[in-house]
Amino acid sequence: MNALLFPGQGSQVVGMGSEFYSNFDIVKKIFKQADEKLNYPISKLILEGPENKLQLTENTQPAILTVSYAIFKVLKDEFEFDFSSFKYFAGHSLGEYSALVCSNSLKFNDALYLLRERGKAMQEAVPLGTGSMVAILGMKTEEIIKLLNSVKKDKFVCEVANDNANGQVIVSGNKESVESLQIILKEKKNKINSTKSKRTVSLFVNETSGRYHETKN
């Protein structure tokens, strides 16, 4: 059984797809199509940045779709890769839209519009600098929920956002609450390490000041 999986937010980087753009006319055509549909030079933002603008979710989302679709078309049309045997087209959150486009379930132009509007709505919901998230490795979801409930107080806004896998949980909330949680988790990590336990607790922090790293739904 074959499946094709498309990436979500967090995979974006200035210059992504640049080699494909330089070598294949079909990529140039798709990038131009995206520019025209969005009515702004998303292609220049993808290829040249600046990074701070690319990281804004209202730009990130159509940018990743554009690059994903362009690479797919190169594989399909230029290298004549046969996807007919692929049973599943799937995506990591935002990547679901790329999967829909590449499986001919959604038109590229329609997806560009949807993601632009989706990104704007997400950007407005969390103004710059107000939100944050942390990936916690090595703790069970039930433990994290119990910990959050034990420290909840007025203005503490912090919840489990995604249960990615065993031992990998994403927690998000307002910036101050996530920072407080980080201190608690670091203290917990030190206690675990001091007992020389085989168990480890690790943190990966991302301040969502307009930048989103999507995780598994």
Residue the block writes with tokens 């590229």: 108
Structure tokens at 29: 């055509």
How far apart, in whole angstroms, are the C-alpha atoms of residue 89 and residue 107? 15
In this structure, which amino acid lies at residue 176? E
| Given 68, 92, 177, 213, the catalytic residue | 213
Q: Where are the alpha helices (DSSP H) in 39-174?
A: 42-48, 51-54, 57-73, 95-102, 108-125, 141-151
Please say if 213 is a catalytic residue. yes
**Of 179, 208, 190, which Cα lies nearest the Cα of 55?**
208
The angle, 0 to 180 degrees and rounded to 10, between the axes of the packed helices 57-73 and 108-125 is 160
How far apart, in whole angstroms, are the C-alpha atoms of residue 96 and residue 158? 26
- Strand 86-91 and strand 2-6: the pairing is parallel
Residue the block writes with tokens 């690319």: 54
- Helix (H), strand (E) at residue 134: strand 131-137
| Given 93, 98, 132, 172, the catalytic residue | 93
* Residues acting as catalytic residues: 93, 213
